[in-house]
Amino acid sequence: MDWKPDFSSETPLYIQIKKFMKNKISLGEWAVGTKIPSQRALAELFNVNRSTVVSALSDLTAEGLLQGNTKGGTKVINNTWSLLAASPPPDWSSYVQEGTYYPNQPAIQHINRAEFHKGMIRLGTGELSPDLLPIEQMKRIFNKLTENSFSLGYEEPKGNRHLREQVVEYLRGLNIHTSPSNILIVSGALQGLQLIAMGLLQRGASILAEKPSYLYSVHVFQSNAIKMIGVPMDIEGIQTSLISRYKKGYNASLLYTIPSFHNPTGCLMPETRRQELMKVCSDEGLPIIEDDVYRELWFDEPPPLPLKARDPNALVLYLGSLSKSLSPGLRVGWVVAPEPVIERLADIKMQFDYGSSSISQWAAAEWMKSGLYQEHATHIRAQLKGRRDLTIQLLNAYLLGIATWSVPSGGFYIWVRLTVDVPIQMLFDRAFKAGILLNPGSIYDRSAGSFLRISYAYAKMHELEWGISKLADLIKEICI
Binders of ligand PLP among residues 203 to 222 (CB under 6 A) are: 214
CB of 232 to ligand PLP, least distance (A): 18
The stretch among 11-19, 183-191, 372-380, 382-390 that binds ligand PLP (CB under 6 A) is: 183-191
| Residue type at position 358 | S
- Per DSSP, what are the bridge partners of residue 319? 291, 335
Binders of ligand PLP among residues 7 to 36 (CB under 6 A) are: none
Binders of ligand PLP among residues 88 to 127 (CB under 6 A) are: 126
| Bond preceding residue 264 cis, omega within 30 of 0 | yes
CB-wise, 74 or 323, nearer to ligand PLP? 323
Report the residue number whose CB is nearest to ligand PLP.
188
φ, ψ of residue 268 to 5 degrees: the values are: -110, 120
**Short-list 219, 230, 228, 256, CA closest to 100:** 219
The stretch among 4-12, 188-196, 422-430, 468-476 that binds ligand PLP (CB under 6 A) is: 188-196
Q: Please select the residue that binds ligand PLP; options are 291, 311, 366, 463, rule is CB under 6 A.
A: 291
CB of 262 to ligand PLP, least distance (A): 8
Q: Measured between alpha carbons, how far apart are the two ends of the chain, in Å?
A: 36
CB-wise, 212 or 333, nearer to ligand PLP? 333
Q: Please select the residue that binds ligand PLP; options are 134, 159, 180, 188, rule is CB under 6 A.
A: 188
**Short-list 334, 337, 344, CA closest to 307:** 337
The answer to whether residue 189 forms part of the interface with ligand PLP (CB under 6 A) is yes
CB-wise, 121 or 258, nearer to ligand PLP? 258
CB of 476 to ligand PLP, least distance (A): 31
CB-wise, 262 or 273, nearer to ligand PLP? 262
Rg for the chain, CA atoms, rounded:
25
Binders of ligand PLP among residues 32 to 71 (CB under 6 A) are: none
Determine contact, residues 159/184, Cβ cutoff 8 Å: yes
Distances in Å between the alpha carbon of 261 and those of 268, 274, 410, 442? 5, 13, 6, 19
The answer to whether residue 258 forms part of the interface with ligand PLP (CB under 6 A) is yes
Q: Please select the residue that binds ligand PLP; options are 65, 111, 252, 293, rule is CB under 6 A.
A: 293
Give the pairing type, strands 316-321 and 288-291: parallel
The answer to whether residue 333 forms part of the interface with ligand PLP (CB under 6 A) is yes
What sign has the CA pseudo-torsion 197, 261, 296, 277? negative
CA 373 to chain centroid: 23
Going by the DSSP 8-state scheme, the letter that residue 89 receives in this structure is P
Binding site for ligand PLP (CB under 6 A): 126, 188-190, 214, 258, 263, 291, 293, 321, 323, 328, 333
